[in-house]
């Protein structure tokens, strides 16, 4: 049984800094009183008793019905953290065992709000150091005496440190729990981990953290749930040649010598009251550029020295100020912190992470080279910065209570990122692109019977895999689309007003999604001239509590309007009941013959709107600018009128509407609601189309045809048709770029040029292959001078490698290894998957699981690139099946990656055999589970089934139509 230690009020516990000890050795502690500093700060000292015990680890009792509190994934509600002192010392050099480790100690002051004799706190993969015979040390604050620790043990499955006390804690009293620990600074991209890179031939190590969703517990014991907000006082111990960063401003640095090692202690200001998943700790020797906003807010961009010296952080710095400014106005709440750091990391699993005050990025998501990077790279950077900065308020200042509401956090940021980016780059029309990158993406998954509602009940989301599984297309893209629809029907000022009062009311607190609806409702009620047919709450429930979306059918002969749950595969069985019977309250913006009409609300399954009758030359278009999250179908005569409008005067419709007609038609055809030939007819006008969004939409739909047919005889006619359609666009760009020597002026025109060149080459347009081969050849002859414009690099590299042989591939590999700009490396990495030579592809697949060749962060996306290639698909699929358990264990825990891998590989599956293989793959690996990718696998099976049927039913018609049209 443990002893009790009482410390009088004026005795302050000092610090425990762990010495460099290997994981296996018995641990000695140094304890001393710190006379100089307040209890908030710990300082190393020496001379303390050594004590040892074995660590116990329990596994949950099998078969027990009444689960123990430590077998439950959710923390009990008896203890509430107030503040933490965390000291961490990452070692950037490996120890005698070849391991990189970190040591640390931390204390948490918590309040007991319900009687309990049990302390349960998250703790994962940490070796706890013994404190007086226990894993932890407890002390009472104020008058409270700490009960004795009877037993302390780690629970592996639920990732807890559990402490059984000899008597209960007093309700209302506060206590301080102290732990000291050692962890591995592994290269696993989770928790406190290490990233490595070479600078001037020397290997450098960076210690960095990624806490979301459940990895803070891997850095120090903590109450690791989003609602357990607290203040964090962080101190980092590090080499004097390095710099330490965390969420707050650095307020103190002192040099010291610990265990003979000269070190620096950097202390940071206490954070705001915040969630653990937003913490960040970094030690590196990066440098920064800075600007000061309003004289007080410090804005810095950090990166490797070479990247900063080459000016790669300049673009990010230049847009950060304006974007923060935009959000301060939009939310009507000042930026809540005193600094904003953003840092580019060589190894990073997600694209970026919104740690409060210290946002972390992949290099490709933050660093821009004006000479070498493409317009697409630039847009990705501004979009991602805008997304993460949106979270500084929505998500960080006000946080969801639990992960079931993640959609609100990510969906919201995915919507407003377009607004922030548009403010900083007003000429780009970036807001239109939401339909490509979110609305259509949401539709694709949400049209499956295996989709799921945006909103999950709290009890449905428990363990880490379920939490990671929430970071999916539905949360991000449907979330964004639905919030955009809400903002559209409330109007932006009302939406922003409600939002602002929500943020002010719940600042530093946690919410559930209905809190937002309440504040938006208030805003509606305070605005006299806005009318909605029901409360925000009731309207939105239809969109968040049931999966899917409606297909609205308008019969313009009768004015009859109907809605149905749209399914990509009409035969799929929907076994998920809905309290609304799959009907929605649908806000319909629409126009008649070019004239906008008053918004119409479809409140029932069917309705008559006589205003929607049209005749003669009139036409009707509903869901203008895709402002609603639904698809539209018309009676055949209105379809004909829209088709003829496209063919005669397509500019009468906005780019978004042109894109939407194509996308709706193709998807309705896939859902067997209209004929495939009608869908194909919407693309006839493309020979006159010069805008990006309609072209991109069409190509994504044709991409499906390419995937389905590029291994069959249909492919020849498809190529001929697309060649015919793309030819004029290719010529157009050739002319306006003066024979490819200039860049089109418009932002999206630059994108469309890439489309034109890419498609023209793959469809065999005359002159294209020669052009590309000569550019690549020139580069191979003089690697110092790359004649290929950055915008065209991805396309040109891919085509040149596809046309070329080993020599072209090996050259790309060499340039990849030498690249100092991550986005350049990334283009080459994708292009190397374009070769048609099987052994090169197989060798490349092997490289993907060798971290000395391909960074771990890039493994799954590289395999996906190979699977995109028609020759690579069977190789990649075989590779993945053979090594599934390794891949899953190495890369499976993270959020997007394995899930993306499954959807990437199965995208072109369309045969009965492939369906069978997929199902077998599922069965064979059930013992391992699919973690966060479970949902994606089900979706892949459903999509393959639908594809298989679609191909069988449509192949002949498609072939006939294409043959006729390409003649």
What are the tokens at 642?
């829209």
Q: 69 or 351, CB closer to ligand BES?
A: 351
Residue 59 contacts by C-beta under 8 Å, 6 or more apart in sequence? 156, 157
Give, in order, the Cα–Cα distances in Å from 4 to each of 54, 190, 728.
Answer: 19, 36, 83
- Rounded to a whole number of angstroms, the minimum distance from the CB of residue 900 to ligand BES is 10
Strands 550-555 and 631-634: parallel
Contact range with ligand BES by CB under 6 A, out of 121-129, 383-391, 512-520, 680-688: 383-391
Q: 877 or 891, CB closer to ligand BES?
A: 891
Q: What is the edge-to-edge ordering of all strands in the sheet holding 160-165?
A: 57-58, 149-155, 160-165, 118-122
CB of 232 within 8 A of CB of 281? Answer: no
User: Applying CB under 6 A, which of residues 188, 212, 225, 425 lies at the interface with ligand BES?
Assistant: 212
Question: Phi and psi (nearest 5°) for 795?
Answer: -65, -45
From 519, 550, 551, select the one nearest 535 (Cα to Cα).
519
Name the residue whose CB lies closest to Zn ion.
Answer: 413
Question: Phi and psi (nearest 5°) for 142?
Answer: 65, -135
Q: 80 or 186, CB closer to ligand BES?
A: 186
Q: 303 or 350, CB closer to ligand BES?
A: 350
Return the residue matching tokens 């307040």.
Answer: 38
- Rounded to a whole number of angstroms, the minimum distance from the CB of residue 360 to Zn ion is 12
CB of 516 within 8 A of CB of 407? Answer: no
Q: 226 or 313, CB closer to ligand BES?
A: 226
Q: 127 or 349, CB closer to ligand BES?
A: 349
**Partner in contact with 351, chosen from ligand BES, Zn ion, none, beta carbon below 5 to 8 Å by kind:** ligand BES
107 touches ligand BES by CB under 6 A: no
**Partner in contact with 941, chosen from ligand BES, Zn ion, none, beta carbon below 5 to 8 Å by kind:** none
- Rounded to a whole number of angstroms, the minimum distance from the CB of residue 598 to Zn ion is 36
- The size of the interface with Zn ion (CB under 5 A), counted in residues, is 2
Q: 279 or 873, CB closer to ligand BES?
A: 279
Strands 101-112 and 79-90: antiparallel
What are the tokens at 685?
């006008």
- Rounded to a whole number of angstroms, the minimum distance from the CB of residue 81 to Zn ion is 24
- The size of the interface with ligand BES (CB under 6 A), counted in residues, is 17
Instruction: List b or e across 539-555, with b for residues whose CB sees 16 or more CB atoms inside 10 angstroms.
Output: bbbbbbebbbbbbbbbb
441 touches ligand BES by CB under 6 A: no
User: Applying CB under 5 A, which of residues 42, 341, 369, 410 lies at the interface with Zn ion?
Assistant: 410
User: Applying CB under 6 A, which of residues 304, 378, 391, 907 lies at the interface with ligand BES?
Assistant: 391
- Rounded to a whole number of angstroms, the minimum distance from the CB of residue 390 to Zn ion is 8
CB of 103 within 8 A of CB of 18? Answer: yes
Q: CA 265, CA 233: separation in Å to the nearest integer?
A: 13
Q: Nearest 5°: CA angle at 547, between 543 and 550? A: 65
Contact range with Zn ion by CB under 5 A, out of 70-78, 319-327, 411-419, 708-716: 411-419
Contact range with ligand BES by CB under 6 A, out of 381-389, 483-491, 561-569, 673-681: 381-389
Q: Nearest 5°: CA angle at 339, between 336 and 344? A: 120
353 touches ligand BES by CB under 6 A: yes
Q: 337 or 620, CB closer to Zn ion?
A: 337
413 touches Zn ion by CB under 5 A: yes
Contact range with ligand BES by CB under 6 A, out of 106-114, 382-390, 550-558, 874-882: 382-390
From 700, 693, 804, select the one nearest 752 (Cα to Cα).
693
At 644, which helix (H) or strand (E)?
helix 636-649
Radius of gyration from C-alpha coordinates of the chain: 29
Q: 468 or 624, CB closer to ligand BES?
A: 468
895 touches ligand BES by CB under 6 A: yes
Residue 754 contacts by C-beta under 8 Å, 6 or more apart in sequence? 376, 791, 792, 794, 795
Contact range with ligand BES by CB under 6 A, out of 42-50, 350-358, 612-620, 724-732: 350-358
471 touches ligand BES by CB under 6 A: yes
Q: 224 or 808, CB closer to ligand BES?
A: 224
- C-beta neighbour count of 387 within 10 angstroms: 27
**DSSP annotation string for 375-391:** HHHHHHHHHHHHHHHHH
Q: CA 391, CA 476: separation in Å to the nearest integer?
A: 13
User: Applying CB under 6 A, which of residues 269, 388, 689, 808 lies at the interface with ligand BES?
Assistant: 388
- Rounded to a whole number of angstroms, the minimum distance from the CB of residue 803 to Zn ion is 39
Contact range with Zn ion by CB under 5 A, out of 11-19, 409-417, 658-666, 852-860: 409-417
Residue 388 appears among annotated catalytic residues: yes
**Partner in contact with 895, chosen from Zn ion, ligand BES, none, beta carbon below 5 to 8 Å by kind:** ligand BES
- Contact track, ligand BES, 414-433, x by CB under 6 A: x-------------------
Contact range with ligand BES by CB under 6 A, out of 8-16, 386-394, 611-619, 855-863: 386-394
What are the tokens at 409?
């956090």
Residue 84 contacts by C-beta under 8 Å, 6 or more apart in sequence? 106, 107, 108, 109, 220, 222, 230, 231, 232, 233
- Rounded to a whole number of angstroms, the minimum distance from the CB of residue 274 to Zn ion is 16
213 touches ligand BES by CB under 6 A: yes
Return the residue matching tokens 């007093």.
Answer: 170
User: Applying CB under 6 A, which of residues 135, 300, 387, 865 lies at the interface with ligand BES?
Assistant: 387
Q: 341 or 569, CB closer to ligand BES?
A: 341
474 touches ligand BES by CB under 6 A: no
From 367, 372, 371, 337, select the one nearest 352 (Cα to Cα).
367
Query: 497: helix, coil or strand?
Result: helix
Q: 52 exposed, middle or buried (CB, 10 Å; 0-12, 13-18, 19+)?
A: exposed
CB of 341 within 8 A of CB of 324? Answer: no
Residue 248 contacts by C-beta under 8 Å, 6 or more apart in sequence? 234, 268, 269, 270, 271, 337, 338, 339, 357
CB of 764 within 8 A of CB of 723? Answer: yes
**Partner in contact with 373, chosen from Zn ion, ligand BES, none, beta carbon below 5 to 8 Å by kind:** none
Q: Which of 212, 269, 363, 388 is catalytic?
A: 388
User: Applying CB under 6 A, which of residues 225, 347, 369, 410 lies at the interface with ligand BES?
Assistant: 410
Supply the residues annotated as catalytic: 388
Q: Which residues bind ligand BES (CB under 6 A)?
A: 212-213, 350-354, 383-384, 387-388, 391, 410, 413-414, 471, 895
Q: Which residues bind Zn ion (CB under 5 A)?
A: 410, 413
């Amino acid at each position: 049984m443990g002893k009790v230690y009482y410390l009088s009020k004026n005795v302050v516990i000092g610090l425990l800094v762990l010495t460099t000890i290997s994981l296996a050795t018995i641990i000695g502690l140094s304890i001393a009183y710190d006379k100089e500093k307040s209890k908030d700060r710990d300082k190393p000292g020496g001379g303390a008793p050594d004590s040892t015990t074995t660590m116990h680890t329990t596994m949950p009792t099998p078969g027990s019905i009444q689960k123990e509190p430590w077998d439950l994934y959710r923390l009990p509600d008896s203890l509430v953290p107030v503040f933490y002192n965390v000291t961490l010392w990452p070692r950037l050099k490996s120890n005698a065992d070849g391991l990189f480790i970190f040591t640390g100690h931390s204390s948490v002051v918590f309040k007991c709000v319900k009687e309990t004799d049990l302390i349960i706190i998250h703790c994962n993969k940490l070796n706890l150091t013994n404190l007086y015979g226990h894993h932890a040390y407890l002390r009472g604050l104020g008058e409270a005496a700490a009960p004795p620790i009877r037993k302390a043990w780690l629970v592996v499955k639920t990732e807890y440190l559990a402490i059984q006390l000899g008597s209960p804690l007093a309700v209302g009293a506060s206590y301080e729990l102290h732990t000291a620990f050692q962890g591995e600074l592994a290269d696993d991209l989770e928790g406190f981990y290490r990233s490595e890179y070479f600078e001037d031939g020397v290997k450098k190590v960076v210690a960095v953290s990624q806490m979301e969703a459940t990895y803070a517990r891997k850095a120090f014991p903590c109450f690791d749930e989003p609602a357990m907000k607290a203040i964090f006082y962080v101190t980092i111990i590090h080499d004097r040649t390095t710099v330490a960063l965390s969420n707050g401003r650095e307020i103190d640095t002192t040099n010291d010598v610990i265990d003979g090692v000269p070190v620096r202690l950097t202390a940071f200001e206490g954070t705001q009251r915040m969630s653990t998943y937003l913490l960040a700790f970094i030690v590196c020797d990066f440098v920064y550029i800075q600007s000061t906003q309003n004289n007080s807010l410090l804005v810095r961009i950090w990166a490797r020295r070479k990247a900063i010296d080459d000016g790669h952080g300049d673009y990010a710095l230049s847009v950060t100020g304006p974007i923060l400014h935009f959000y301060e106005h939009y939310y009507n709440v000042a930026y809540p912190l005193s600094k904003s750091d953003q840092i580019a990391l060589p190894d990073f699993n997600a694209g970026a992470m919104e740690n409060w005050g210290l946002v972390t990025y992949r290099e490709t998501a933050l660093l821009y080279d004006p000479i070498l990077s493409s317009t697409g790279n630039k847009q990705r950077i501004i979009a991602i910065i805008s997304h993460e900065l949106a979270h500084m308020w929505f998500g960080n200042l006000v946080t969801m209570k639990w992960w079931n509401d993640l959609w609100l956090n990510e969906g919201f940021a995915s919507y407003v990122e377009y607004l922030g980016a548009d403010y900083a780059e007003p000429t780009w029309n970036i807001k239109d692109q939401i339909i490509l990158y979110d609305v259509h993406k949401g539709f694709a998954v949400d049209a499956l019977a295996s989709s799921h509602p945006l909103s999950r009940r709290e009890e449905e989301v428990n363990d880490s895999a379920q939490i990671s599984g929430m970071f999916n297309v539905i949360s991000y893209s449907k979330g964004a689309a639905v919030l955009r629809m809400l903002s559209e029907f409330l109007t932006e000022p009302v939406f922003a007003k409600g939002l602002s009062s929500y943020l002010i009311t719940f600042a530093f607190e946690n919410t559930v999604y209905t809190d937002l609806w309440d504040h938006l409702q208030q805003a509606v009620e305070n605005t006299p001239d806005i009318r909605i047919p029901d409360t925000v709450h009731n309207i939105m429930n239809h969109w968040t509590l049931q999966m899917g979306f409606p297909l609205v059918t308008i019969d313009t002969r009768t004015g009859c309007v109907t809605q149905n749950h749209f399914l990509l595969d009409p035969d799929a069985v929907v076994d998920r009941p809905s309290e609304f019977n799959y009907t929605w309250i649908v806000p319909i913006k629409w126009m008649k013959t070019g004239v906008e009409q008053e918004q119409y609300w479809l409140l029932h399954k069917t309705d008559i709107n006589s205003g929607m009758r049209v005749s003669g030359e009139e036409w009707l278009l509903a869901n203008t600018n895709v402002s609603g999250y639904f698809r539209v179908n018309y009676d055949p005569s209105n379809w004909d009128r829209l088709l003829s409008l496209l063919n005669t005067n397509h500019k009468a419709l906005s780019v978004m509407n042109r894109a939407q007609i194509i996308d709706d038609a193709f998807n309705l055809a896939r859902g067997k609601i209209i004929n495939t030939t009608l869908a194909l007819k919407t693309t006839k006008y493309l020979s006159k189309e010069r805008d990006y969004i309609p072209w991109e939409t069409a190509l994504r739909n044709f991409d499906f045809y390419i995937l389905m047919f590029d291994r069959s005889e249909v492919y020849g006619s498809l190529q001929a048709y697309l060649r015919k359609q793309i030819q004029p666009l290719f010529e157009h760009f050739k002319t306006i770029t003066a024979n490819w020597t200039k860049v089109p002026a418009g932002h999206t025109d630059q994108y469309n040029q890439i489309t034109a060149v890419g498609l023209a080459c793959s469809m065999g347009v005359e002159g294209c292959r020669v052009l590309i081969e000569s550019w690549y050849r020139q580069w191979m002859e003089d690697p110092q001078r790359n004649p290929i414009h950055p915008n065209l690099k991805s396309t040109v590299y891919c085509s040149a490698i596809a046309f070329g042989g080993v020599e072209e591939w090996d050259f790309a590999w060499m340039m990849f290894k030498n690249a100092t700009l991550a986005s350049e490396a990334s283009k080459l990495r994708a292009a190397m998957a374009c070769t048609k030579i099987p052994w090169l592809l197989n060798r490349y697949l092997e490289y993907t699981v060798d971290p000395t060749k391909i960074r771990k962060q890039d493994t799954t996306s590289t395999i996906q690139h190979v699977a995109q290639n028609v020759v690579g698909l069977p190789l990649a699929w075989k590779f993945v099946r053979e090594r599934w358990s390794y891949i899953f264990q190495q890369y499976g825990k993270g959020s997007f990656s394995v899930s993306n891998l499954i959807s990437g590989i199965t995208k072109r599956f369309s045969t009965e055999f492939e369906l069978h293989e997929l199902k077998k793959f599922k069965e064979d690996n059930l013992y391992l589970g699919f973690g966060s990718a479970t949902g994606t696998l089900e979706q892949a099976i459903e999509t393959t089934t639908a594809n298989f049927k679609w191909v069988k039913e449509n192949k002949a018609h498609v072939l006939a139509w294409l043959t006729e049209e390409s003649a």
